[in-house]
Amino acid sequence: MKEFEAVIGLEVHVQLNTASKIFCACSAEFGAEPNSHVCPVCMGFPGTLPVLNKAAADKAVQAGLALGCNIQKFSIFDRKSYFYPDLPKAYQITQMFYPICLGGFLNIDTGNGERRINLTRIHMEEDAGKLIHGEGEAAGYSYVDFNRASVPLIEIVSEPELRSAEEAKLYLQKLRTVLRYVKVSDCNMEEGSLRCDANVSVRPIGETKLGTKVEIKNMNSFRSVQRAIEYEIARQSEALSEGGIVRQETRLWDNDRGITLPMRSKENAHDYRYFPDPDLFPLKLTDEKIERLRRTIPELPDSRKGRFMGEYGLSAQDADLLVSEKDYADYYETALKTHKSPKGIANWIMSELLRVVNDKNLGIFETGIPPESIAKLVALIESGAISGKQGKEVFAEAVKTGKTPDAIVREKGMSQLSDKGELYGIVESVIRENPNETERFKNGEEKLLGFFVGLVMKESRGKANPKMVNDILKETLK
Ligand code: ADP
Ligand code: MG
Ligand code: ZN
């Protein structure tokens, strides 16, 4: 079989988190009673006029700045005509010919080093409504909810530069991270505030011309994007290696069956009869405005990761995790202000705190353990005041009660047993009670040390200072 290489370009729709819709004053909030956020404008009544929500344009610019795009000082809204029941005007307002952002890029960390994926453009558009197909008694009926109609979107189009399903997933995750840093969207795939269409083609390795592409829709998790692309690469490679062809078409991902199915043969741009929307002014941005928005962009994950590695000595993997959400990175750096132990605090956040965050589905600032408390806890352990094991107990109690580590340690009368005399006493009694193991240790079975350490820890009810126990045991058993 010939060897094929995959070529993938993603078109990602992101809902901007403005309070109101893009061309009317209706609320853009998710999850309200169907058709409660509607008005004549977003319902497409004749005679109404759209007015651009400036906050949506600001957020599109912020996204573009965070992604290294060239912000266009002049862009135009166009009508894209198609008939579908969730599109009340029978056209969608979008930007076809003069989008708000051109170019840009996103770095992904592939494991074989970093790759830069270029963007083609970002344009603004309005969302369509949502069709709900009835089930049970309502089977055979379809309902339409216009709450989503005219919610602001940006569409981020990548160049066809991704080479595997894994890279596509990394790209999406990175895109989500960056957009969450600039707070233009929560990018929740399950709720549909981030949606991805994947364009996939394959070509024989060494070929430079692009193959015929298929567009896949209907994936609603990172995992399903990856699976759909993997499936599609295999399907196309197989077709071509058997001498067949790939038809240019749109296919739907069936998540239950794990396959893509044909939906429609691909329409061409002229089917949409694009033309500038005469109801809207061109969108003009001044340099001052763009500069003002540029100043709102915080330090972004790539730079922050580099700094965490350089300044705090973290591994790439740890830095990656800590910068994956702006809140994690902010939390971490706030904790460091109380106690400067970059690795100690990173470890506690990654192992204990993020477990609570994930289990309880909370923000990192909402766990009941503020950054100062994690810092204080790590300081108590590092100074030897309490053991690591006691630290976990303090942590659990702090999650439960919201009390500070100091208060918990005081209330529970916790302290680490670091008294040499007392430790010698315990070690000696443990050795006395286990003559066989002692003999074996002396004959060279050094791995039995752990056995003795365990007994001493048990005897001290977890309070013994582990480092001292190790030293005293080694010395006494000699
Ligand atoms: P269309 O006009 O069909 O929407 P575009 O040229 O706008 O196509 O590209 C849409 C997306 O498809 C972009 O993300 C682009 O990178 C990607 N793409 C274009 N050609 C190919 C190809 N041959 N294989 C894979 N992806 C492609
Ligand atoms: Mg397209
Ligand atoms: Zn409205």
Contact 219, 151 (CB under 8 A): no
Measured from the CA of 157, which atom of ligand 1 is nearest?
14
Looking from the CA of 125 toward its CB, the CA atoms found within 13 Å total 24
Residue list, ligand 1 pocket, CB within 6 Å: 7-11, 157-160, 199-201, 210-211, 213
- Smallest CA separation from ligand 1 atom 13, residue: 9
pLDDT of residue 122: 98
E-strand stretches of 159-254:
194-204, 214-219, 249-254
Return d(Cα 169, Cα 60) in angstroms, integer.
Answer: 23
Q: 187 in the Ramachandran plot: left (φ > 0), alpha (ψ -120 to 50) or beta?
A: left
For the segment 64-103, what is each residue's pLDDT rounded down to a tens digit? 999 999 999 999 999 999 999 999 999 999 999 999 999 9
Contact 177, 320 (CB under 8 A): no
pLDDT of residue 2: 67
Q: Give the Å distance between the CA of 9 and the centre of ligand 2.
A: 10
Distances (CA, A) of 326 to 333, 428, 432, 458: 11, 52, 55, 41
Return d(Cα 284, Cα 280) in angstroms, integer.
Answer: 12
Residue 105 φ then ψ, to 5°: -165, 165
Mean pLDDT by 10 residues, the chain (478 residues): 89 98 97 96 96 98 98 98 93 98 96 93 97 92 96 98 97 98 96 96 95 94 97 96 93 96 77 95 98 98 98 96 97 97 97 96 94 96 88 94 92 81 90 92 90 90 83 88
- Which ligand has the nearest atom to the CA of 121? 1
Residue ranges of the domains in the chain? 4-291, 301-412, 420-477
For the segment 24-56, what is each residue's pLDDT rounded down to a tens digit? 999 999 999 999 999 999 999 999 999 999 999
pLDDT of residue 266: 63
Residues in the chain: 478
Residue 162 φ then ψ, to 5°: -80, 145
Q: Give the Å distance between the CA of 185 and the centre of ligand 3.
A: 20
Residue 412 φ then ψ, to 5°: -85, 0
For the segment 374-423, what is each residue's pLDDT rounded down to a tens digit? 999 999 999 888 888 889 999 999 999 999 999 999 888 887 777 888 88
The preferred substitution site among 12, 171, 199 for testing ligand 1, maximizing ligand atoms within 8 Å of CB, is: 199
Contact 52, 221 (CB under 8 A): no
Sheet holding 78-81, edge to edge: 91-94, 78-81, 275-276
- Which ligand has the nearest atom to the CA of 37? 3
Q: Give the Å distance between the CA of 138 and the centre of ligand 2.
A: 35
Distances (CA, A) of 221 to 71, 117, 179, 303, 347: 30, 21, 17, 27, 29
Packing angle, helices 54-66 and 165-181, rounded to 10? 120
> For residue 244, which amino acid is it?
G
420-477: what CATH class?
Answer: mainly alpha
Q: Give the Å distance between the CA of 185 and the centre of ligand 1.
A: 25
Measured from the CA of 11, which atom of ligand 1 is nearest?
14
Measured from the CA of 158, which atom of ligand 1 is nearest?
14
> For residue 443, which amino acid is it?
N
- Smallest CA separation from ligand 1 atom 11, residue: 9
pLDDT of residue 273: 93
Return d(Cα 458, Cα 452) in angstroms, integer.
Answer: 10
Contact 153, 127 (CB under 8 A): yes
Q: Give the Å distance between the CA of 299 and the centre of ligand 1.
A: 31
Q: Give the Å distance between the CA of 131 and the centre of ligand 3.
A: 18
385: CB partners within 8 A, 6+ apart: 409, 415, 416
